[in-house]
Chain A
Amino acid sequence: MCQWCDKYAEGYSRWYFNPANYARKLYKIRKDEGPEIQPNPIAPGGMALEDRDFIEALDRKDHEVISKRRHEIEQLAWQVHFGQVVTLEDTLKVIDFIYPIALMTCACRRSMLGLSDEENFTCMGMGPGMYKWERWPNNYRGGLQFLTSDEAKDAVIRMNKRGLVQTLFTFGTPYLGGICNCDYPDCSAIRTTIDHGVQFLWKGHHVARIDNDLCNGCASCVHRCQFKALSFSASQNKAYIDQFQCFGCGLCATECPQEAISMVERASLPGLANVW
């Protein structure tokens, strides 16, 4: 079982369907949070917890240092800020009950591509935190565009069509405050998860499954996968999905013209039920 559902679903079928997990307090008394973290220009976005020492340990395959640092980084990230992949269908269900919701700029693409704010409205914020962005624009840059529920759904569907993966992110776990629309290689969470094996991004509750009788080998799904799970079998002339690498976003399934790819519940497959 998904450990976040275990802790935070409170009777709902998934933790991100529990409205309480979107109700973070708008204000809090700031405690003394210790020494201020020095800005690190080579570690933008979600990679900020990874330092040069960790990357060097990866490079020289120092498994002892890697596993120790990986554990520390993950424990901190899971308390503060991490994400889980969701299907388009689940994202639309979430949009049905959250308020307010706003388009905002993507911090990852800002740092990796230098996109201007105008061309970078691919992130969505939700819940009371959005009023802070509106109230203190100097602290939270990029600006906001508040959306109605229908506008938010249209925006998510549009970004899914473009090939962006829907993910939900916590801001102070278990409070979910962002619907990100991510892609490799510019999403820091996907990069750290796939490239460094540090689990900023959890796999979702679904797994893609190809029906080989329906797959005609057109390969239009192949470019959709952001997680290196989908390849093409030259010998079978069909798409191939590594289900242990699949994050369950459903992008391949929404693209397939033959409807040969279906999303099955992770929990229904004993070999995958605990693969997150």
Chain B
Amino acid sequence: MLPTITVDDKKCQDPLNCAKCLLICPTHVLGLGTRVGPRKYKEIDKDQFIVAGVRFEKCSGCMDCVNTCPNKAIQVSFQGRSEK
């Protein structure tokens, strides 16, 4: 079963320095992206970094990321996607 992983970027302020969720995930699902996309040879403002459930097909649903996030920014749901 596939999850829906949502990260509240307002609560997740400094993912670049925190990275707790990236390191605790047993299957390395979460990844660090930027709002501006990849920018070759240009410094990206650190406010632009966001966490996302990149490889979500490998999410077991252990909820370790949810529990380790100091700002409670991550939600993982296995409810299915029927509510549209």
Q: Which A residues have a C-beta under 8 Å from some C-beta of B?
A: 207, 209-210, 212, 240-244, 264, 269-274
Residue of B23, B24, B28, B61 near A272 (CB, 8 A) is B61
Our count of residue pairs bridging A and B at CB distance below 8 angstroms stands at 38
Main secondary structure of the interface of B (DSSP, over half): loop
* Docked-complex contact B61 and A269, CB < 8 angstroms: yes
A205 CB to closest chain B CB (Å) equals 14
**A22–B31 Cα gap in the complex (Å)?**
48
Residues in chain B near residue A240, CB distance under 8 A: 28
B78 CB to closest chain A CB (Å) equals 4
Residues in chain A near residue B2, CB distance under 8 A: 271
What 1/0 flags go to B17-55 for Cβ under 8 Å of A? 000000110111000000000000000000000000000
* Docked-complex contact A271 and B26, CB < 8 angstroms: no
* Docked-complex contact B24 and A271, CB < 8 angstroms: no
- 17 A-B residue pairs with Cβ-Cβ distance under 8 Å, sorted by A, are A207-B60, A210-B26, A212-B23, A241-B26, A242-B27, A242-B58, A244-B27, A244-B58, A244-B60, A269-B60, A270-B1, A270-B60, A271-B2, A271-B3, A271-B58, A271-B61, A272-B61
Given contacts A269-B61, A271-B1, 6 further A-B contacts (CB under 8 A): A212-B24, A240-B28, A243-B60, A244-B27, A244-B60, A272-B60
Residues in chain B near residue A271, CB distance under 8 A: 1-3, 58-61, 78
Q: Which B residues have a C-beta under 8 Å from some C-beta of A?
A: 1-3, 23-24, 26-28, 58-62, 78
Contacts known (A212-B24, A241-B26); A270 close to B58, Cβ less than 8 A:
no
Residues in chain B near residue A244, CB distance under 8 A: 27, 58, 60
Residues in chain B near residue A241, CB distance under 8 A: 26
**A242–B58 Cα gap in the complex (Å)?**
8
* Docked-complex contact A243 and B27, CB < 8 angstroms: yes
- Chain A CB count within 10 A is highest, among B26, B28, B58, for B26
* Docked-complex contact A270 and B26, CB < 8 angstroms: no
B55 CB to closest chain A CB (Å) equals 11
Pairs A-B, 3 closest by C-beta atoms: A270-B61, A270-B78, A271-B61
Residues in chain B near residue A207, CB distance under 8 A: 60
Contacts known (A212-B23, A212-B24); A273 close to B58, Cβ less than 8 A:
no
* Docked-complex contact A274 and B1, CB < 8 angstroms: yes
A243 CB to closest chain B CB (Å) equals 5
* Docked-complex contact A269 and B62, CB < 8 angstroms: yes
Can you name the residue of chain B whose Cβ is closest to the Cβ of A242?
A: B27
**A207–B24 Cα gap in the complex (Å)?**
17
Residue of B23, B26, B78 near A243 (CB, 8 A) is B26
Contacts known (A209-B26, A271-B78); A243 close to B58, Cβ less than 8 A:
yes
Residues in chain A near residue B27, CB distance under 8 A: 242-244
B31 CB to closest chain A CB (Å) equals 14
Residues in chain B near residue A242, CB distance under 8 A: 27, 58
- Chain B CB count within 10 A is highest, among A212, A272, A273, for A272
**A171–B58 Cα gap in the complex (Å)?**
34
**A270–B61 Cα gap in the complex (Å)?**
5
